[in-house]
Structure 1
Amino acid sequence: MTPDELYALLPAVHRRRDAEQGGPLRALLTVVAEQAAVVQEDIERLYDNWFIETCDDWVVPYLGDLVGYEILPQIAAALSDDAVRAGGLPAAAVPRRDVADAVVNRRRKGTLALLEDLATAVAGWPARVVEYRRLLSVTQPVRRYTSDGGDARRRLASGTLADVRDAGALARLGGPFDGVARTVEVPRPDSTRRVGRYGVQSVGLHLWRLPTYSVTRAPAYCLDRDRACYLFNVLAVDTPLFTAPVPEPSSFHIADETNVPEPIGRRALADRLYDYYGPRKSLCVWTGPQDADVVGLDRIVVADLSGWRWRPRRGEVVVDPVLGRLMLAPGAAPAHGVRVTYHHAFSGDLGGGEYPRPEPAPDGPAERYRVGPAEDHHSIADAIGRWRAEKRGHEHKAEAIVEITAGEVYEDLTEIRLDPGDRLTVRAADGVRPVVRLTGRRGEDRERALTITGSWRGRRSEATAQLVLDGLLVTGGGVRVRGGVGRLVVRHCTFVPGWALESRGTPLAPGAPSLDIAGSPVRTEIRHSVLGAITVSAHDDAREPNRLEVYDSVLDATREEATALGDPDGGPAQVLLTARRTTVIGAVRARAVELVENCLLAGQVWIDRQDQGSVRFSWLPSESSRTPSRFHCEPEHSGAAAAELRFADTRYGAPDYVRLADDCAEAIRRGGDNGTEPGALHHLFQPQREDNLRTRLAEYTPAGCDPGLFFVT
């Protein structure tokens, strides 16, 4: 009940006397109503916690216990820690869907389709199960030749020699969709190095760990307008195109190439163009801004564009899905450019994109300015300029949100000026990935920057302006912060490491800072973002170092020898550093540390003050680093077994970017405080997912059949 409803229940005489005394009884009932609302909400939540579909994450293990769902001992021990439980481990280690289907799955024990459902329910990974017995090369008995029906013909076709004329079958060799027969493999029974894949009782479960992310109706990068050569990726880098998975029609269906996030091959696209191409499918091409400008299926030609040697005919659109390239007939480049929809693979929700991003509540009433082709403002600079003009003399308009509603390329944003007390947010709308390209000729570095300047209030030590960058992809240069900026928040953004990328993914300016802070007492907060190097130099009147907080992010100086965090002159950055669940490629040099936890620091770490802060559950070069006290850090904690840190790929733009290599030491893969990997991908909990999946597979498969796990991506 509301305070007014409670107050109305009182007799009129008490309400009159309360009004005469200034309303103390009304104020008391306001507090009572607030607490009653809390109790009522908790009672309603208790009812929701009775059901697996609506309960909180911490309740799922208790409901699982009621149906005999066993939790791994190490996971149960981790869930006993309140801090670990709050970090999202219950949802990953005890999946809600797996608990809900526990009884049904026991009835389906021993079926092939169940293994795929387990991979999706337990680990969240798309999968394809393969029964290798059906792929064994066998000698057909004579009596089979006299059999009738389709089953006999299928038995005669299985186990035969490979047809060298079938290019599609040859392109799938060695993969999860390989249908070519093999001879039986009989490794040693006690072999620990190799397990035979092709056997009578062999079953393999192929898993895709990298999800796909869409880029919708984005402008393609024009590499050569005269020859009409384009790249799907607006960053001008070759990007393999992936399949947008289609849900399987039933729980008994075995996944095919359209149901998993598989890289699209040239042969697969040519043979099954209709399955992959279209406005709401894996890829699509438009030669104009209107929906009617979509390129038809009859105009698409699949070819190898590795050397741009193909000569398209008039009206043809040549696509290379392996390299992510596009080519039209010479002289046929459209005036409005080419737009594309495609899917690429990455490890998780990091660095911005079309995935959902929760919008934090503003501190107060904020004016909203929308930017896009169908909005009042067509450029970011125009929206900021209008806000600055409208807020003059109106203090209530000091807080504003500039929201970008289209995934366009914006080249107009070169400077953001903030007055004292301003609170500006420049963000991308959900489902949109705008690109801010900083233009400038090679060698003129001053033009290749977005400069953020804040005005001082009173003394130079008072900086009150705040700026939030959310969901932006900044390429072509770096971001510079000057003057009286009190707080800078970078959320779900990418400042391309090395400023920009060459066609093969090499950085244009290796080691160049993507965020440069000089003469500003800014407090910088970075979350779920990918940045290049950061340089910080203190302003003249600074009494304390700037604060730099990095969470669930990547700092990439493009090589380990470069400096990922430091001073422009090569010394330590004048910051008090806090880093959690962060991957750093390059050296870290800072004045002091508050806390470094669950981090991968692939480079020398040098901290001036060793009497402050700590480093916990992280990997860093122990011999060449100087840090405050360390706790459970590798490789010094486990010794030589964990001496080498290996990534699957360290090139920004690659699907396996900053993901730990599969052969990385277990002490690193499970070196976090909750038994998962440190670094920016800590939130994926992949070791726990794998352990849980192996346990469930052993529970739901017959004796003597041990499914093997094969990671495709």
Structure 2
Amino acid sequence: MTSQPNLAALLPVHVQRRDAETGAALSALLAVVGEQLGLTEDAVAQLYEDWFIETCAPWAVNYIGGLVGYRIAGGYTAALAAGDESARLLAARLAPRRDVADTVSARRRKGTLSVLEDLARSVADWPARAVEFRRTLGITQPVRLYGDAAAIVRRAGRTPGRLIDVRDGAALDLLGTPFDESTHLAEAPRISAPGRRTGRHNPQAVGVFVWRRTAQPVTRAPANCIDSARNLYTFSVLGNDTGLITNPVPEPVRTHLAGAENLPVAISRRAARDRLPEFYGPGRSFTIWAGARNAPPTPVPLSAIVVADLSGWRYRPGPNQVVVDPVLGRIAFGRRALPRRGVWVSYHHAFPDDLGGGEYPRLPVTPQAVPTYRVGDGADFERINQAYERWKADQPAEAIIEITDNGAYQEQLEFEVGEGQRLTLRAAEGKRPTLRLLNWYSNRPDALQLRGVGKGARMVLDGLLITGRGVSVAGPLAEVDIRHCTLVPGWSLESHCAPTHPAEPSLVLEETRACLNITRSILGTIVVVADEVHTDPLDIRITDSILDATATDREALTGPEGRLAHAVLNVERCTVIGRICTHAIRLAENCILDGKVRVARRAVGCIRFCYLPAGSRTPRRFHCEPDTALRGAGDADERRLILNRVRPRFTARGYGMAGYLQLAQSCPDEIRRGAEDRSEMGVYHHLFQPQREDDLRRRLDEFTPAGAAAGLVFVD
């Protein structure tokens, strides 16, 4: 917006003086006129910007698209008119500016594989690789050309009908992947028939392989020592196995067909062994440092890296070797390559979304007047408690303790916030530090303590990974905000991502009046301990987050000893694994509640566009599943079949896995498209993946080569 003109300053001086003496009514009137003049100037300037797709207002995207023949997806105007943030995000997905801008150039390349890959990136924002399956079909050699192998190769572009060489391990590793070049028999089903059995290998089939998960970077973070005597480590700081993926390299030109180096592909052992220089080193897919952290960064030399299978830790490295298993994310050092003071790693792993903290953008602009105490290498303080003690000595009304690296901090942390104070403990932009809470005391809890010592005290946790113990909130805190954090469900992980303490809570609210706000975070069970007789229920608001009790038969929200939590819950666009036992639910919207719900006050609140198991005791429901699917069901057998079909199916259920709580393709449409705006229920609702899929299929039909049929193949 342009600056508001000061019309009063244009008046003669004697008029300004007289106006000031009589109450400045004229100046106030001219300020209102100046505000409207500024809005008019902005509107006139925007008229010029509306000529270009890159700068036009959202309402003009539809008109510019119509000028170039772009077909706007249905629901765009309605989503734009809704006005809220979720609707604006949906409108951007239904008509991406980039796709509208590329319409003309895409039509010039219509029928090529590269334009199909471009469509996947511009329409759905998914990395993609297009494959013509006719090139992988086995061809019967004609009798009249028997012996003329050269003619057949010229027609097919390869040797037809070639059997698989079982000694070619590299080719066997690629079977069923987007890079499979082995010969296959033809299949009758068509690839372009969503919702039915599809077949890839037929002469008309063109497959567009898309990756729904993103490559999440972890930069110079500490590795986890599994066995110090044998020098065994994992890339993950939590000690669980995590597969490494490629750091995608941008394609050189738009007509280039994506290869494995351009996509977030899982790194196999054979590929890492054969092409190790492509994957290892600074700026590539993974790097290992050994030595002092504050020393000049010198990675382990490439000549010392050996790729091997470390399943069961049976492989014994040589004296000077550093053995890496990219499939499991494990490291083993030889006796002469022993790390003296620690091991640090950089790598990439797959995850469905920017959630629970990470190196993605997440921080709002911080006012410069707010004092910031920085912790980390090269910062003012080495430990969090040192910054906290300085904050206690200074006693500002509002302050930030910011961790500036990806290190692991092992401290006993207790924060006391005074009356009217607000303290934020956060990670710096692009960082994700780990708070490792250990078993410090034998006679008291070792949780991260947040305590209020006066009215109006507020505490914020932002961008942190907390493992080993949970968080305890006590005292007269007014508000606790948890944003972009992960409180590891079950405290910590075993090697196969199983929780070590599945029944332990991640968050305990004990005799406090704090309003709890959780946004874009991952955490385990919440326990509310409160005086139910003399106090009102707590307010708990959870948005775009995961609440994981590690099993559907455990309590995700509860009171002590399995009683009802003395709390009123607001939950929006969340995935909850486990039972919810609470005083009341004010609103539950677009959620997956994979565990029975039990509330005390059924007359309060509403649950809408959610999944929750049959037999739950809830307030009134609107358009929930499986209630809607059960309408008109007949006998008990039919109801049983519907209940078995309409339930959430996830790619993976365990925290630490690549497809954590991502809806599988086999999940029924009642859940995949069951939200209020026809997006999926649950924590990944804002990705609008059903709309992206539909829009991409529609665009593929428009740009598919003549005589071919294109279909989507999800690589997860």
Task: Please state if 1:614 is matched with 2:612.
Answer: no
Residues 520 and 539 in structure 1, CA contact (< 8 A), matched pair in contact too: no
Pick the aligned partner of 1:352 from 357, 368, 375.
357
Q: Deviations over 1:439-463 (max 9, x none)?
A: 117x95944300111113xxxxxx3
Counterparts of residues 11-22 of structure 1 (less than 5 Å): 11-22=12-23
Q: Partners of 2:543 and 2:509 in 1: how far apart?
A: 19
Counterparts of residues 490-505 of structure 1 (less than 5 Å): 490-505=482-497
Counterparts of residues 53-92 of structure 1 (less than 5 Å): 53-73=54-74, 78-83=79-84, 86-92=87-93
Residues 551 and 581 in structure 1, CA contact (< 8 A), matched pair in contact too: yes
Counterparts of residues 249-648 of structure 1 (less than 5 Å): 249-288=252-291, 289=293, 290-330=295-335, 332-359=337-364, 361=366, 365-391=369-395, 397-440=396-439, 444=442, 446-456=444-454, 463-539=455-531, 543-622=535-614, 624-639=615-630, 640=642, 643-648=646-651
Pick the aligned partner of 1:214 from 217, 233, 250.
217
Residues 245 and 349 in structure 2, CA contact (< 8 A), matched pair in contact too: yes
Residues 186 and 201 in structure 2, CA contact (< 8 A), matched pair in contact too: yes
Question: Structure 1 unaligned runs (5+)?
Answer: 392-396, 457-462
Counterparts of residues 662-677 of structure 1 (less than 5 Å): 662-677=665-680
Deviates more, 1:699-708 or 1:575-584: 699-708
Describe the SS at the equivalent of 2:114: helix
Equivalent in the alignment of 2:114 = 113
Residues 440 and 448 in structure 1, CA contact (< 8 A), matched pair in contact too: yes
Equivalent in the alignment of 2:638 = none
Describe the SS at the equivalent of 1:621: coil
Describe the SS at the equivalent of 1:88: helix
Q: Deviations over 1:427-486 (max 9, x none)?
A: 111111110110117x95944300111113xxxxxx310111110010011100000110
How far 1:156 sits from its partner (Å)?
A: 5.2
The percentage of counterpart residues that share the same residue type is 48
How far 1:515 sits from its partner (Å)?
A: 0.8
- The alignment's TM-score, normalised by the length of structure 2, stands at 0.92
Equivalent in the alignment of 1:705 = 708
Go from structure 1 to structure 2 and tell me whether the alpha carbon gap of 1:570 and 1:62 turns closer, same or farther (over 3 Å shift): farther
Q: Partners of 1:302 and 1:672 in 2: how far apart?
A: 45
Q: Deviations over 1:410-443 (max 9, x none)?
A: 11252111111111111111111110110117x9
User: How many pairs are equivalent?
Assistant: 697
Residues 653 and 661 in structure 2, CA contact (< 8 A), matched pair in contact too: yes
How far 1:28 sits from its partner (Å)?
A: 4.1
The amino acid that maps onto 2:448 is L
Go from structure 1 to structure 2 and tell me whether the alpha carbon gap of 1:194 and 1:541 turns closer, same or farther (over 3 Å shift): closer
Q: Partners of 1:560 and 1:695 in 2: how far apart?
A: 38
Equivalent in the alignment of 1:123 = 124
Question: Structure 2 unaligned runs (5+)?
Answer: 631-641
Q: Partners of 1:58 and 1:514 in 2: how far apart?
A: 45
Q: Partners of 1:189 and 1:87 in 2: how far apart?
A: 33
Go from structure 1 to structure 2 and tell me whether the alpha carbon gap of 1:119 and 1:144 turns closer, same or farther (over 3 Å shift): farther
The amino acid that maps onto 2:364 is E
Deviates more, 1:572-581 or 1:21-30: 21-30
How far 1:656 sits from its partner (Å)?
A: 0.8
Residues 489 and 499 in structure 2, CA contact (< 8 A), matched pair in contact too: yes
Equivalent in the alignment of 1:172 = 174
Equivalent in the alignment of 2:637 = none
Q: Partners of 1:252 and 1:277 in 2: how far apart?
A: 28
The amino acid that maps onto 2:360 is Y
Q: Deviations over 1:160-216 (max 9, x none)?
A: 222333211111111111111123333599998533322222211111111110000
The amino acid that maps onto 1:491 is R
Q: Partners of 1:446 and 1:437 in 2: how far apart?
A: 17
- The alignment's TM-score, normalised by the length of structure 1, stands at 0.93
Go from structure 1 to structure 2 and tell me whether the alpha carbon gap of 1:58 and 1:612 turns closer, same or farther (over 3 Å shift): farther
Residues 189 and 199 in structure 2, CA contact (< 8 A), matched pair in contact too: yes
Q: Partners of 2:491 and 2:678 in 1: how far apart?
A: 35
Go from structure 1 to structure 2 and tell me whether the alpha carbon gap of 1:103 and 1:188 turns closer, same or farther (over 3 Å shift): closer
How far 1:21 sits from its partner (Å)?
A: 3.3
Equivalent in the alignment of 1:460 = none
Deviates more, 1:699-708 or 1:655-664: 699-708
Q: Partners of 1:378 and 1:119 in 2: how far apart?
A: 46
Q: Partners of 2:183 and 2:481 in 1: how far apart?
A: 56
